[in-house]
Structure 1
Amino acid sequence: MTVPNVLAVVPPHMGGRAAGTALAALLTEHARVTVVEAAGEDPQALRQARAIITALSPVTAGHLAAAPELELVQCASHGYDYVDLAAARRQRVTVCTIGSSDAERKNVAEQTFALMLALAKQLIPAHTALARADWALPRLQPSITELSGRMLGIVGLGAIGREVARRAAAFDMTVQYAGPRPAPAEVELRLGARRVDLDELLRTSDYVSLHAPLTDRTRHLLDAERLALLKPTAFVVNTARGALIDQEALADALAAGALAGAGLDVFDPEPPTAGLRLLRAPGVVLSPHVGGVTRETVVRIALAAVQNVTEYLAGRPPRDAVS
């Protein structure tokens, strides 16, 4: 029997070759694995690959065209915006995520609340001031707020959005959500979540948390016009994809005091360039896309991706196919 070839693509900012080698070790009984940091790095391996596992590294139309044996692109994430779906469809290549796995959704929900709490309690300016022996309580106190009793607006009530809504109940928050389709009635009832249109959500929420996939329709979903709908006391939290927000427009709004702050775990591009204004904008709490990255989560993500690939190579239907 011919041993299938698999290409594992892990860019440096996601762990590079070391992480890719650890992932490849899970596949050694099922496939011959080549580890690269970019899909086009090893043209021969790309040409021979029957499957690609990619960890937030682009798989472009050019890469797909250079891979005549390719049948499956497995994203080691809930998102898939870094794969050219149109080209994959043309070449009849299946693209899958780990969407039905709970590998990272609980941790992303925790990261969402870490950012929300840091914003509400002004943890970054408090820490920075106190590290300079500056007892900043009188200056910070007017801007310190509570989560209890506040309205949380969730954009995208998918697997991660629902985890966020569940945790909001523990903080005694009210939840509303926006999305292209209503959640099942029993889900809304269980989560205490009410569906509204996006503009109403932005006008009435104290915290807006983004959990939508990045597509052509959702790119810059929060542009200057929509950011202007937010209350000046509102906070925006993004643990989904950086390009859901027009980053320049968000920097402008923060600089003008048009909203209270933003908690960001994702950027466009990643890693962000040193010139990105958001890195120095007032009222921001930043983290380097760690929402889905803990010791435990990395293992679960790798196992979920590898399981889908091995099942596909064994002739079983793939799970979480988006193309």
Structure 2
Amino acid sequence: MSRTSVLAVVPPQVGGREAGAGVALLLADRADVTVVESTDEDPGALAAAQVIVTALAPVRAGHIDAAPRLEMVQCVGHGHDHVDLAHAHRRGVTVCTIASSGAEGNTVAEHAFALILACAKKVVPAHTALARGEWALDRLRPGLTELAGKTLGIVGLGHIGRDVARKAAAFDMTVLYASPRRAPAEVEQRTGARWTELDDLLRAADVVTLHAPLDDSTRNLLDARRLALLKPTAILVNTARGPLVDSDALADALENGRIAAAGLDVFDPEPPEAGSRLLSAPNTVLTPHAGAVTRETLVRIALAAVENVGRHLDGTGPRDAVRPR
């Protein structure tokens, strides 16, 4: 019986060959796995691949066309914006995420709250001031705020957004959410989240946190017009994808004090360019797309991706197949 050829693409910034070796080991009993750090690295392995496992590495139309045997692209994560979904669909290639596994939900939700709290309590400027010998309480005091009694607006109530909503209850926050499709009543009851239109959410929320997928309909979802709807005391947090927000418009809002703060784990592009205005904008807390890379989560993500590939190989049918909108 012939073995399936799998190409595991794991860029250096998300673990490289060492992390890829773990994926290969998990699939060793049922597939021949080639580990690379770029989709372009080994044209022969790409041409032979029946399955591509990608950890944020681009899989573009040219890659799909260069892999005539390709049946499946498995994304190691919730997002799929690094894969040419429309071209894969035209070619009859199944593209899957690990969305229903919940592997990333808890840790990304924790990271979102870490950024929210850091912004609300001005942790970064307080630390920086103390480290340079300044007792900055008088300067920082006017901007300090609390979460209890405030309104949290969640953009995208998928698995991660639901985890965020549940955690918000512990902070005694009112939770609103905006999503193209309203969640089932059971989900709203379990999370305590109330649906509203996006513009209304932005006007009402004290904290806005983004958990929407990136596609053509959500790129620059928060543009200059929508950012202008936020309260001047609002905190914006993005742990989803950088291009959900117009970077220059956000920098304008921060530089001109039109919003209070921003906590950003994702950028456009990644890593951000050296001259990016967001790197020097005031009242920001910045982390390097670290929300889903805890020790525990990386194991869960790899296992979920490998399990889904296994479902494809044994004919059970993979979960979390995505289609172009």
Structure 1 position 268 matched with structure 2 position 244? no
Q: What letter is aligned with 1:147?
A: L
Structure 1 position 243 matched with structure 2 position 243? yes
CA contact (8 A) 1:13 1:271 kept: no
Q: Equivalent residue for 2:221?
A: 221
Q: Please say which of residues 68-77 and 187-196 is displaced more in the overlay.
A: 187-196
- Give per-residue Cα distances to partners, 1:59-79, cap 9 Å, x unaligned: 000000000000000000011
Q: Please say which of residues 187-196 and 205-214 is displaced more in the overlay.
A: 187-196
Does the residue aligned with 1:305 lie in a helix, a strand or coil?
A: helix
Map of 1:129-140 to 2, 5 A cutoff? 129-140=129-140
CA distance in 1, matches of 2:310, 2:193: 38
Map of 1:294-313 to 2, 5 A cutoff? 294-313=294-313
Does the residue aligned with 1:135 lie in a helix, a strand or coil?
A: coil
Q: What letter is aligned with 2:260?
A: A
CA distance in 1, matches of 2:191, 2:305: 29
Q: Equivalent residue for 2:112?
A: 112
Q: Equivalent residue for 1:199?
A: 199
Q: How many residues are matched? A: 323
Q: Equivalent residue for 1:166?
A: 166
TM-score if structure 1 supplies the norm length? Answer: 0.99
Does the residue aligned with 2:262 lie in a helix, a strand or coil?
A: strand
* Structure 2 segments unaligned to the other structure (5+ residues): none
TM-score if structure 2 supplies the norm length? Answer: 0.98
Q: Equivalent residue for 2:180?
A: 180
* Structure 1 segments unaligned to the other structure (5+ residues): none
Q: Equivalent residue for 1:153?
A: 153
Q: Equivalent residue for 2:190?
A: 190
CA contact (8 A) 1:157 1:211 kept: yes
Q: Equivalent residue for 1:63?
A: 63
Does the residue aligned with 1:83 lie in a helix, a strand or coil?
A: coil
Shift of 1:190: 2.1
Shift of 1:283: 0.5
CA distance in 2, matches of 1:89, 1:20: 26
Divergent runs of 4+, >3 A = none
- Give per-residue Cα distances to partners, 1:142-180, cap 9 Å, x unaligned: 111001111000000111000000000000000001010
Q: Please say which of residues 9-18 and 288-297 is displaced more in the overlay.
A: 9-18
Q: Equivalent residue for 1:85?
A: 85
Q: What letter is aligned with 1:189?
A: Q
CA distance in 1, matches of 2:274, 2:157: 33
Q: What letter is aligned with 1:92?
A: G
Q: Equivalent residue for 1:128?
A: 128
Q: Please say which of residues 190-199 and 45-54 is displaced more in the overlay.
A: 190-199
CA distance in 2, matches of 1:199, 1:15: 39
Structure 1 position 28 matched with structure 2 position 32? no
Q: Equivalent residue for 1:254?
A: 254
Q: Equivalent residue for 2:284?
A: 284
- Give per-residue Cα distances to partners, 1:220-250, cap 9 Å, x unaligned: 0000111011111001000000000001110
- Give per-residue Cα distances to partners, 1:111-131, cap 9 Å, x unaligned: 000000000100000000001
Identity %: 67
Does the residue aligned with 2:321 lie in a helix, a strand or coil?
A: coil
Q: Equivalent residue for 2:51?
A: 51
CA distance in 1, matches of 2:240, 2:192: 22
Does the residue aligned with 2:101 lie in a helix, a strand or coil?
A: coil
Q: Please say which of residues 16-25 and 214-223 is displaced more in the overlay.
A: 16-25
Q: What letter is aligned with 2:258?
A: A
Does the residue aligned with 1:26 lie in a helix, a strand or coil?
A: helix
Shift of 1:276: 1.2
